[in-house]
Amino acid sequence: MADIDYRTYVDKVVDGRWRLVRFIGKGGFGAVFEAVREGGVQKQRRALKLLKPDAPTSVRQRFAREFRLTDVIVHRNAVRVYEYDKDPELGFYIVMTLVDGQDLKAKLESGPLPVDEGLRVSDRITEALEAAHRMGIIHRDIKPGNILLSRGGVAYLADWGIAKRIHDDSEEDEDDDPSITEGEAPHTVRYASTEQLRHEPLEPASDIFSLGAVLYEIFAGRRFLDDVDPKYLRSYKAYKPPWPEVPLPFDHLPQPLDEEIVDVIRKCVRL
């Protein structure tokens, strides 16, 4: 299918309710817009994600799953999906929390976060994850690209498309296919736990591992296991724990905070 110029979609109205007012960006399976509710008493602003017409069925299933699961995760720092529906002309879409800013992945390109900001981001994402775990839901894709930062510095945990209820095997799960590569995987190999890469049943501890890898990056300014060749990262993480000596480049942090952060990261990633 020819590449879609989503910028031409601005000012279209989705399902007679949501006017697309700004193009935010696009990915492999669709695009995200800022949208305003038409005809409401209050001028609601949300993010609206449109799915490409030729997107695989599995991606539509992620949309539906994200809608179902975020409905029960009530936390101010968890991005919520308010609607999942299909426009007759534009196709499937979801309406979700609008975070006007950038993701943590982009933010970290310039190095580690300042200590105060890193602590705020860490606290908020940890709280959102704990709220999900209390409801029996594991995220399964904790990574910097799924953490959104508002212009005011508030962090939100986003993209619950491959989240799953603990011990729920009722849905077909593409994450259980050992043949997928990092580029195709619904999770991201660099942040996935050993048991996730081994396709074993997952508990909240798997999310905690991924969170620890993110915390490492927040405070170190480099990725966890960054010295491992990406070609071998999947097999390395799946079959060679415990890890050898992992660099802990946190000397720039003030004491005793450095020791406390290192201790938390060690416990999360099982060093």
| Residue 78 per-residue DSSP state | B
**Contact in structure between 49 and 31 (CB atoms under 8 Å):** yes
Alpha helix (H) residue ranges in 71-111:
104-107
CA dihedral (156, 161, 162, 166) positive or negative = positive
Catalytic residue among 15, 54, 87, 141: 141
**Nearest-angstrom CA–CA distance, 242 and 167:** 25
**Nearest-angstrom CA–CA distance, 151 and 133:** 27
**Nearest-angstrom CA–CA distance, 38 and 19:** 7
In degrees, to the nearest 5, what angle opens at C-alpha 36 toward C-alphas 74 and 71? 20
141 is catalytic: yes
Token pair recorded at residue 116? 């105060």
> Which pairs from 35-38 meet CB under 8 Å and 24+ separation?
35/95, 38/13
**Nearest-angstrom CA–CA distance, 93 and 265:** 37
Catalytic residues, which ones?
141
